[in-house]
Amino acid sequence: MRMTLRGGALSGPILFNLAFALYLACTVAVTALLGEPHGVVQMALRGGRDGALVLLLLGLSLFVTFYGIWRGQVSGVAGRLLAAILVGAGIYLYLIPAFAVVKGMISLPFGFWADPMLARLDMALHGGRDAWVLYWPLVDVIPAKLAFIGYNFGWAVVSMGLPVLAMVFDPDPVRRNRVLICYTFVWIGIGNVLAMVFASVGPVYYEGLLGAPRYADYLSAREGLMPAAHAVRELQDALWRNMVERQGQLGLAISAFPSVHVGIAALTMVYFVSLGRIFAIVGIGYCALTQWSSVVYGWHYAVDGYASILLVVSLWIALGFGMKRSVRQGLGT
């Protein structure tokens, strides 16, 4: 006998929430074995406002999950609102904390080994020149505040809000599930698994890691764009101190290839393209801006973003074919 979950608009979010929770449980087990406290567990145990928020979201998540399973088919606007609550709670409670912990351990298996290879590949793909050299002329064209907001605050809003808004406003269940699968892949597949396999720090940390002034010209050029007190510079310095001093602060970890920032931007792009022409223009522009900013700020080699775009676009297309085929088979056509 085969058991199926019939939750209408909630079935996908319920399954992905369970997957996120399992991933979190695995990270808690691993960090416990390594003697490292898990950030979210600490947050819940110490009480106060953060602990109350964790418990509130956990309660909402469990309520919506059991309600969806008990109620059976939940569809329409009410179903989509409940799905949004479930996805939002799952992102905050399970996915992002687990991602942050694993990201902090990406150098443990192999060390940061991939930077020389990525730097050479970057040059090969850009005609024997570093990618930042070709990207740099746009510094005088793209407003600095637009790039900063788009890559930092804007990206934070998009990365947390895109799947939640898709659950609420998109009436197409197939497309909503494509968003969830791709979103999960960006954080776990790109940001954890591939980041661990190709552990790297990026151009801005190249000399600090390897002692070679490979990007000395870039570091000199960025002084005019980002002085020492610039918010990006301060964050980069904090990340480096966290790694060198082994402070282990949750959320302060370094990885370059592939780029999660560009991966989320690529997901935004393919999703917006599926919504229509105006959305497509916005999505493509946002992805291009994120890719450019990732290189100009020194966080990434250009190939980091190219790989993320290729992976996300390929997965989105493959899911489109696979899900349409499943729907046709379910309809018996």
With CA atoms as reference, report the closest residue to 112 among 210, 208, 200, 206.
200
Mean pLDDT of the chain: 81
Let me know: does 96 contact 180? Beta carbons within 8 Å.
no
pLDDT, position 137: 93
Is a pLDDT exceeding 50 seen at residue 27? yes
Average confidence (pLDDT) over 13-40: 70
Residue 307 pLDDT grade (very low, low, confident, very high; cuts 50, 70, 90) = very high
Q: What is the pLDDT of residues 105-118, one digit of tens each?
A: 888 778 899 999 99
How many Å apart are CA 275 and CA 278, to the nearest integer? 8
Task: Quote the tokens at residue 167.
Answer: 């659950």
Does the pLDDT value for residue 283 go beyond 90?
A: yes
- Please state, as a whole number, how many other Cβ atoms lie within 10 Å of the Cβ of residue 114: 20
Confidence class of residue 271 from pLDDT cuts 50, 70 and 90? Answer: very high
Integer CA distances (angstroms), 158 to 83, 137, 164, 217, 277, in order: 18, 27, 10, 33, 19
- Rounded to an integer, what distance in angstroms lies between the CA atom of residue 150 and that of residue 146? 6
Residue with tokens 């956990």: 58
Helices (H), the chain: 11-34, 39-45, 48-71, 76-90, 96-103, 115-125, 131-135, 144-151, 153-169, 173-184, 195-197, 206-210, 216-225, 231-244, 260-275, 277-296, 302-331
Q: Please give the pLDDT value at position 59.
A: 59
Please tell me whether residue 108 adopts helix, strand or coil conformation. Answer: coil
Q: How confident is the model at residue 29 (pLDDT cuts 50, 70, 90)?
A: confident
The amino acid occupying position 101 is V
Taking only the tens place, the pLDDT of each residue in 126-161 is 999 999 999 999 998 998 889 989 999 999 999 999
Token look-up 């790109």 returns 190
The Cα–Cα gap between 301 and 200 comes to: 10
Nearest to 40 by CA among 17, 24, 29, 26: 24
Distance CA 49, CA 240 (A): 30
Quickly tell me which residue has 């406003």 as its tokens: 169
Cα–Cα distance between 255 and 115 in angstroms, integer?
Answer: 10
